[in-house]
Every structure is written in structure tokens, then in C-alpha cells.
Chain A
Amino acid sequence: MDYFEPKTVSEALSLLAKYGDEAKVIAGGTDVMVDIKYKEEPGCLVNIKKIPGLGVIQENGGSLRIGPLVTIHEIETNNLVRERLPVLWESCHQFASLQIRNTATIGGNICRASPSGETLAPLLVLEAKAKLAFSEGEKTEAFASFFQGPGKSSIGSKGLLTEIDVPYPPQGSRGVYLKHAVRGAMDIAMVGVAVLVTPDAAKNNLQDVRIGLGAVAPTPIRATKTETMLRGKPLNAAMIKEAAAMAASESSPINDQRSSGEYRRWIVEALTRRGLEQSWKAATGKEVA
């Protein structure tokens, strides 16, 4: 196996172009090292950790720019994330164990494109964008279209994620990330639900609502039909019940060793209901009537 530590993005891209599908990008290594031990060695390992500038968090007007090499623990302990992006903070706080959070990077969690990737449903509801570098040039893509299937994203084998731009949610909005797993730590989500609610000025109707679902479809998804149904409406118990059932019907979970698809649908329903109730209360100070 060949091994490289490129010092620039363009050097990394030339290596990816040269080795094609044989090349594997590695950063924290918490997924790739397991593949090397239990699946197969790639022909070439490209360690991107020596590229300067990819490991910083910077505020940029109305958004936070997160470098792909920033570790989950660095996000978890960043005050701006805690204050401005609590939905993302919550998913990083519930991520695996402290040991893994100290090594795993957000770029790795994204590029792995696992449907259950902990940060992905939060990034979808925050309407974050990926900055991608290819030999032909750079492009910016919303995460809404980035994920294409389990392990598949528009980054392909030739691209590199160079930045994650996470806009601050609208004024007055509140959100939660709810994870369902057997253990509190070190467990992969059976279901993860991220909810972001923005009430109108009078705090009577939903001006905006976003619902992200993890681990219940081939990619993390937004429950867009449910969101459309709720937008502009007052949020009462009947509405929440309908929305939760609709979100469950928008999911298409598989049966696997962690749970059955049927069980996952029930959990989507329960977590969507709880997520809407909690976010609405946090945003308006009022219980759902």
C-alpha cells in the first residue's frame, strides 16, 4: 500500500486523480482503519491531516465555517457552536465516545455518507453547504443534494471536501437533535431526528419548520412533505400527531441487526412528535395546545 501526506489540496487532488478508485482519503481514521483491518487495504492511502487550514472553525457573517479536519470534540467544545448551532452541538455531544470524538473529524462523518452519520440530519436542517475541490475547480453544494446513497456522495473518488458552511438558523428559531439507541454512548443511532422550528412574530403559527431524519432511508433526508404541510399553520396537538405520522411515512427504513424497519418507523413518529413539542416550547415559551 502506498502512503502520502500531501501538504496542499492540489497535491491531494493530483494523488486522487493518479490513483483513482485505488486511493482512499484518511483523516481521523476511525472508519478507514477498521476497513483496513477487516475489509481490504486500499492501493493508496492519502492522509490529508498535514494540509494546513482545514482544521479551523471561523465565523463568517451569518454562518460558521467548519474545516473538514475539525474533530467532533472540537465542535462539541466550541462556544459558537454551542450558542448558535445547538442542533449540531447536540449531535456531536452524543457522538460515540470521548476517545472517538477526540479523533473523528466532521469531514469524515460527512464523506463516509452513512445514512446514520450523526451530524448529517442536523446539517440538513441547518441547510449547510459543502465546499468541494476537484482538479477541474471548486464547487459549493448544499447537503440536500450531496448524499446519493449509503457511502455515496457527489464527492466521488476524485474530490475533496474543503469546508462546511453552516448558516445560523433564523432569529427566534429553536431546534433539537434526538437520537434513539440502546446505549447512551458508543452506539449507532437506530433513528436520529433533527427538528428546527421558527414561530412567527406573534408566536402563534409556524413560520418555518425543518425536519431531518437519519438512519431511516438510503441517505439522511428532510421530511419535506411534512414540512410543507406544517408551514404557516398553528402547532397544536392534532397537527403534531398528523405531522409525526407523515414523517414516518416519508421514511423508508431497512431491517437490520439494530432494529426492524417497522420499529424504526414508530421511532420516527415518536421522535418527530417530541422534537416538534420541545422545539415549539423552547421557541415560544408555550406548551403545545
Chain B
Amino acid sequence: MSLTINTTINGKSVSASAEASTSLLEFLRDTLEYKGTKLCCNTGECGACTIIYNGKPINSCVTMAADANGAEITTIEGIANGDKLHPVQQAFIDTGAVQCGYCTPGYIISVKALLDRTTKPTAEDIEEAVSGNICRCTGYTKIFDAIQLAADRMAGRV
């Protein structure tokens, strides 16, 4: 059964059709060609598909495309300001927090959602914000450094 989905993605109104069984992740990637959001575990466990849905980070792989109707969605493609990367993106580059890069869009979205909520995250806040994001290349130290750097830059502390 095909449904018409009217939604807002990165500030742009979009209308497209999707099957009822389609996940929001499949809708974003395969129908709308937003390939920055990654498909990985497809069970809501790894965080590679994280997007911001009405202000909150969620796993798009276990959300129905139908639930995008009337919602405001932010993907990794929507956070840079023209050619200027979002401070979280820039901090990930500057600290070397990217290895294979597959988990990175999900991380950056989770961190952006955190720093939208608070500019002074505690270590506990940071851990909680990315507890649903898994990186299999490396340790998490550089990712944590990147988050701290992004927070400091956004709050004007450095």
C-alpha cells in the first residue's frame, strides 16, 4: 500500500510516495537520495542511521517512513552552512576522529543534537548522547576529543 509522505527535510518541503513497510532510512536514502545517512545494523543498535526528528536524535532504520509525515527532519546533508562545515564536522576533522568514516554522520548528528540542547555538556552528557553510536575502527578517545572541541568552539571558549 503506497502512501504519500509530506515532510520537511533540512528546511525543504518534500513530497514523495513510500510503501507502508518502508523505513524512514530507506525513504531518505533510496527515494530521496540523501545518502549521507548510513544503513548498517538495520535494527536500531548501531546509530549509523541517526537523524534529527522534530529536534530529537532517533534511529531512522526503525522508524516508519509514514512517521515523516508532517515532521521536521535534519540529516547530515543539512547541517553545514554553505561551504562552511558545521563546527561538529570541523572538530571531527581537526581531531582526527574519523577513520573509515561510516559511523561518522550518525555521530555528528547525535553530537549536534546534544550541542543544540546544551553548550556545556558534562562528560556524562557526552557519553549518554553517543551511547547509541558504535565505532568499530578505533577507540572512542578522539571522538570524545572532537565533541569537547566542538562544544568549546560553539560556546566561544576556544
**Is there a chain B Cβ closer than 8 Å to A63's Cβ?**
no
**Is there a chain A Cβ closer than 8 Å to B36's Cβ?**
no
Q: How far is the CA of A3 from the CA of B50 in the complex (A)?
A: 25
Q: How far is the CA of A233 from the CA of B129 in the complex (A)?
A: 44
Query: With A97-B47, A99-B110 as given contacts, are A33 and B131 in contact (CB-CB < 8 Å)?
Result: no
Of the listed stretches B27-35, B55-63, B86-94, B139-147, chain A binds: B55-63
User: Using Cβ atoms and an 8 Å threshold, which residues of chain A touch B19?
Assistant: 1
**Is there a chain A Cβ closer than 8 Å to B100's Cβ?**
no
User: Using Cβ atoms and an 8 Å threshold, which residues of chain B touch A3?
Assistant: 1, 3, 20, 66
User: Using Cβ atoms and an 8 Å threshold, which residues of chain A touch B47?
Assistant: 97, 99
Query: What 1/0 mask marks residues of chain A from 250 to 284 whose CB sits below 8 Å from any chain B CB?
Result: 00000000000000000000000000000000000
Query: What 1/0 mask marks residues of chain A from 1 to 24 whose CB sits below 8 Å from any chain B CB?
Result: 111010000000000000000000
When C-beta atoms are compared, the residue in chain B nearest to A101 turns out to be B132
**Is there a chain B Cβ closer than 8 Å to A41's Cβ?**
yes
**Is there a chain B Cβ closer than 8 Å to A36's Cβ?**
yes
Q: How far is the CA of A4 from the CA of B53 in the complex (A)?
A: 22
Taking the closest CB of chain B, its distance from the CB of A160, in whole angstroms, is 18
Interface residues of A in 38-58 (CB under 8 A from B): 38, 41, 45, 47, 49
When C-beta atoms are compared, the residue in chain B nearest to A49 turns out to be B67
**Is there a chain B Cβ closer than 8 Å to A34's Cβ?**
yes
**Is there a chain B Cβ closer than 8 Å to A132's Cβ?**
no
Q: Tell me whether chain A's interface is mostly helix, strand or loop, or mixed.
A: mixed
**Is there a chain B Cβ closer than 8 Å to A155's Cβ?**
no
Q: Are B64 and A100 in contact (CB under 8 A)?
A: no
Q: How far is the CA of A183 from the CA of B64 in the complex (A)?
A: 28
Q: Are A33 and B110 in contact (CB under 8 A)?
A: no
Q: Are B59 and A100 in contact (CB under 8 A)?
A: yes
Q: Using C-beta atoms within 8 Å of the partner chain, give the interface range for chain A.
A: 20 to 34
Q: How many residues of B contact A (CB 8 A)?
A: 30
When C-beta atoms are compared, the residue in chain A nearest to B1 turns out to be A3
Query: What 1/0 mask marks residues of chain B from 75 to 116 whose CB sits below 8 Å from any chain A CB?
Result: 000000000000000000000000000000000001000000
Selected contact of B20 from candidates A45, A73, A99, CB within 8 Å: A45
When C-beta atoms are compared, the residue in chain A nearest to B56 turns out to be A102
Query: With A37-B23, A103-B58 as given contacts, are A47 and B131 in contact (CB-CB < 8 Å)?
Result: no
Interface residues of A in 66-96 (CB under 8 A from B): 73, 96
Q: Are B64 and A33 in contact (CB under 8 A)?
A: yes
Q: Are B63 and A2 in contact (CB under 8 A)?
A: no
Q: How far is the CA of A45 from the CA of B86 in the complex (A)?
A: 39
Q: Are B50 and A99 in contact (CB under 8 A)?
A: yes
Q: How far is the CA of A96 from the CA of B66 in the complex (A)?
A: 24
Query: With A96-B132, A99-B110 as given contacts, are A1 and B57 in contact (CB-CB < 8 Å)?
Result: no
When C-beta atoms are compared, the residue in chain A nearest to B132 turns out to be A97
Interface residues of A in 143-176 (CB under 8 A from B): none
Query: What 1/0 mask marks residues of chain B from 129 to 141 whose CB sits below 8 Å from any chain A CB?
Result: 1011110000000
Query: With A3-B66, A33-B23, A34-B62 as given contacts, are A98 and B57 in contact (CB-CB < 8 Å)?
Result: yes
Q: Are B44 and A99 in contact (CB under 8 A)?
A: yes
User: Using Cβ atoms and an 8 Å threshold, which residues of chain B touch A98?
Assistant: 57, 110, 128-129, 131-132
**Contact sample, A vs B, 13 pairs, CB 8 Å cutoff:** A5-B66, A30-B62, A33-B44, A34-B43, A36-B21, A97-B47, A97-B59, A99-B57, A99-B132, A100-B132, A103-B59, A185-B128, A186-B131
Chain A positions within 8 Å of B, measured between CB atoms, are 1-3, 5, 26, 29-30, 33-34, 36-38, 41, 45, 47, 49, 73, 96-100, 102-103, 184-186
Other A-B contacts than A33-B44, A33-B62, A186-B45, 6 sampled, CB-CB below 8 A, are A26-B64, A37-B43, A41-B21, A49-B67, A98-B57, A98-B131
